[in-house]
């Protein structure tokens, strides 16, 4: 046996860092003068591999936060906490990330976290990132009656996802519908309560400018006759001249 395992009565210190094996344990006392006095043989002690705690003292994992992923956006995340165990810990996720209790940029799927403490005790827990309902938007832009006027509108209806919805338009507006618009394209991003979003563009159209020109003139044949003629050509506008 190895004669290097001892207990100090004054400090109640215990020898640490021993390998597996058989050791002789001795008791010694430190007197007031700072001298070690008698040694007493306690007995042989066998050191074995540590036994991992069970029950309420066992190494464990607790989910502290989980955010599911929006369709096609890879924005899921998981945060976990270590329960019990003895540090330092080795942290391993099934998708390759190490030594991080929080992971992000996750697609829908299953992710397993394995924790190993300094005693070699392990704990594993599987988490599921689900795909949230997608956000949709339907609507249309109006056709302006007169070229250059500001009477266009865009009306939309959001759907899917999780209400309430937020709206951000390319012209800076944050309302659901737009009015008093000139012709052009208007893009909206609709975001739901889970920060899932979709983007659509709607067009407000207008007719071409209304123009006219004289195409033919004919003078009267005789003074006072009503035989004169003027023809004009008209284009653009809404038609029905």
Structure tokens at 76: 């899921």
Q: 110-134 pLDDT, tens per residue?
A: 999 999 999 899 999 999 999 999 9
Least-confidence region, from 100-104, 163-167, 221-225:
221-225
Q: What is the pLDDT at residue 235? A: 82
- Express as a percent the part of the chain with pLDDT over 70: 82
* pLDDT(79) > 90: yes
Band (pLDDT 50/70/90 cuts) for residue 2 is very low
Task: Answer whether residue 99 shows pLDDT above 90.
Answer: yes
Q: Is 68 exposed, middle or buried (0-12, 13-18, 19+ CB in 10 A)?
A: middle
Q: What average pLDDT score do residues 17-33 get?
A: 68
pTM over 0.75: no
Q: What is the pLDDT of residue 135?
A: 96
Residue 104's pLDDT is what? Answer: 95
Examine the pLDDT at 148 and tell me if it is beyond 70.
Answer: yes
């Amino acid at each position: 046996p190895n004669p290097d395992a001892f207990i100090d009565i004054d400090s109640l210190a215990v020898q640490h860092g021993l390998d597996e094996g058989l050791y002789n344990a001795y008791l010694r006392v430190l007197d007031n003068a700072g001298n070690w006095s008698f040694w007493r043989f306690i007995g042989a002690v066998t050191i074995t591999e540590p036994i991992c705690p069970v029950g309420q003292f066992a190494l464990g994992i607790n989910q502290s936060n989980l955010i599911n992923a929006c369709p096609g956006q890879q924005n899921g995340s998981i945060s976990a906490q270590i329960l019990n165990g003895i540090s330092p810990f080795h942290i391993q996720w099934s998708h390759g990330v190490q030594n991080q209790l929080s992971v992000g940029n996750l697609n829908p799927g299953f992710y397993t976290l394995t924790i190993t403490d300094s005693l070699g005790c392990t704990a594993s827990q599987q988490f599921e990132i689900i795909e949230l309902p997608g956000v949709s938007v339907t609507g249309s832009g109006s056709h302006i009656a007169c070229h250059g006027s500001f009477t266009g509108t865009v009306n939309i209806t959001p759907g899917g996802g999780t209400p309430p919805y937020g709206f951000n338009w390319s012209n800076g507006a944050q309302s659901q519908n737009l009015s008093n618009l000139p012709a052009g394209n208007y893009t909206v991003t609709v975001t739901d309560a889970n920060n899932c979003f979709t983007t659509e563009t709607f067009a407000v159209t207008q007719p071409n400018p209304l123009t006219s020109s004289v195409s033919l003139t004919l003078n009267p044949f005789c003074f006072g006759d009503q035989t004169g003629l003027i023809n004009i050509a008209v284009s653009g506008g809404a038609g029905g001249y």
